Amino acid sequence: MSVSLQGKIAVITGAASGIGLAATEALLEQGATVVMVDWNEAALIALAGKLGEKAIPQITNLLDEGSCNRMIPDILQKVDHIDILYCNAGSYIGGNLADTTPDAIDRMLNLNVNAVIKNVHAVVPHMTERKTGDIIVTCSVAGHFPIHWEPVYSSSKWAITCFVQTMRRQMIPFGVRVAQVSPGPVVSALLADWPEENLRKAKEAGALIDPSEVADAVIYMLTRKRTVTIRDMLVLPTSFDGV
Domains of the chain: 9-235 (3.40.50.720)
Measure the CA–CA gap between 208 and 83, rounded to whole angstroms.
31
> Edge-to-edge strand order for the sheet containing 9-13?
55-59, 33-38, 9-13, 84-87, 133-138, 176-183, 232-235
Q: What per-residue confidence (pLDDT) applies to 191?
A: 63
In this prediction, residue 222 carries a pLDDT of 98
Q: Which residues pair with 181 in a beta bridge?
A: 138, 233
Residue in 86, 92, 153, 220 annotated catalytic: 153
Residues 116 and 69 sit within 8 Å (Cβ to Cβ): no
Is residue 153 part of the annotated active site? The answer reads yes
pLDDT at residue 190, as a whole number: 61
Sequential pLDDT tens for the chain (243 residues)? 689 999 999 999 999 999 999 999 999 999 999 999 999 999 999 999 999 999 999 999 999 999 999 999 999 999 999 999 999 999 998 889 999 999 999 999 999 999 999 999 999 999 999 999 999 999 999 999 888 888 999 999 999 999 999 999 999 999 999 999 999 988 776 666 666 777 677 767 777 889 999 999 999 999 999 999 999 999 998 887 766
Query: Rounded to two decimals, what is the model's pTM?
Result: 0.93
Cβ neighbours of residue 63 under 8 Å, at least 6 residues apart? Answer: 39, 107, 110, 111, 115
Q: CA-to-CA distance for 173 and 159, rounded, in angstroms?
A: 23
User: How many CB atoms within 10 Å of residue 216?
Assistant: 15
